Chains A and B, each alone.
Chain A
Amino acid sequence: MLLALLALALIAFVLATPLALRRVELWRAERALHASRVRVGPFDELYDPGRERRAEQRARELLRSCVNEEEWGMYRDLGFIRVAGRHTRREVDRAARAAYAYLVYPHKPIVAYVPESGQLLSEYCVEFPDLTGSGGRHRLPASDDVLAKWMALTSDEDRVIRRANMHLIGRQLDPARVRRDLWRLAEWERRRGGRQQVPQSQR
């Protein structure tokens, strides 16, 4: 009797072993899949500095092909672009220099200032997040960010300024640094033999 029970138990064990092994394999596969899903996050992807560099290089080429020669030189040499403001108080001023202008930095607020006096007016915090970006990447390359701001300001200044958060100067940017940038810009223009005022019509 005992022998018969042992034989039955042995047969049951042999028959159940493949099923148990299959269950174990499935469990391990599910666990590995879950682990891989958890591991792939925005900061867990392999960082490829070459990819970012190539993206920035492409963005620089695109920017260069869109802006005028002076603006490109400004960005290449100084790291920012000046965009003339479109609004003027009087119609006769339209032909003259802009009453105000913006300094466009990559991934930093846009700074409004008065070119004639150098007075800093305000910071406009604005960004262009690509929420459809994969791998948690939402930030455009630096030069694309500048180009996006340039396109937005030159095409529909009011819309981008409305969407931006306006702050007093000094919230994110050091006013001393901005003033130094304005001085660098003036020096750059002087060296370039250009005018120091913001021209209304640039080429």
Chain B
Amino acid sequence: MRSCAKPTGHGTLRDIIGKVAVMKFLRMKPGHGEVLLAEGDPSVEEDEERLVEEFRRQLDEGMWAAVPVTNSGSGRREAQMVREYADIPPESERVIFFPRASGG
């Protein structure tokens, strides 16, 4: 869940924490496995600016970005390539950056 409701004073702390969505940017790195680049709540302006900046930086470095999703029709797990920050599905919890493909 990408956007969260603002705490209203109703509900328990767990309910509030449960609604806070943190999106993680992960990057595959040689010799490391995945590395956490940035994380934040996209509904918070500061976090979103940081995420947008990191997203652009990774694409400028030549990375591809994909989001693992479940196909709503078939129920199949698959990835969705994202070329812009705005393309990230709203419910995404993570975006994975990986080097772009080249002929081997």
Contacts and interface: CB of A to CB of B under 8 A. Distances in A.
A127 B101 contact: yes
Interface residues of B, number: 31
Most buried by B among A51, A151, A164, A201: A151
B68 A68 contact: no
Interface in B82-104: 96, 98-104
A128 B31 contact: no
A53 to B, nearest CB: 10
A65 B96 CA distance: 12
Contacts of B101: 126-128, 148, 152, 159-160, 163-164
Of the four ranges (under 10, 10 to 19, 20 to 34, 35 or more), the interface on chain A belongs to: 35 or more
Given A152-B64, A165-B104, A201-B75, A55 B98 contact: no
Contacts of A150: 79
A67 B32 CA distance: 20
B80 interface: yes
Interface of A: 51-52, 54-59, 62, 65-68, 71, 109, 125-133, 135, 137-141, 144, 147-148, 150-152, 154-156, 159-160, 163-165, 200-203
Interface of B: 26, 28-34, 61-62, 64, 66, 68, 71, 73-81, 96, 98-104
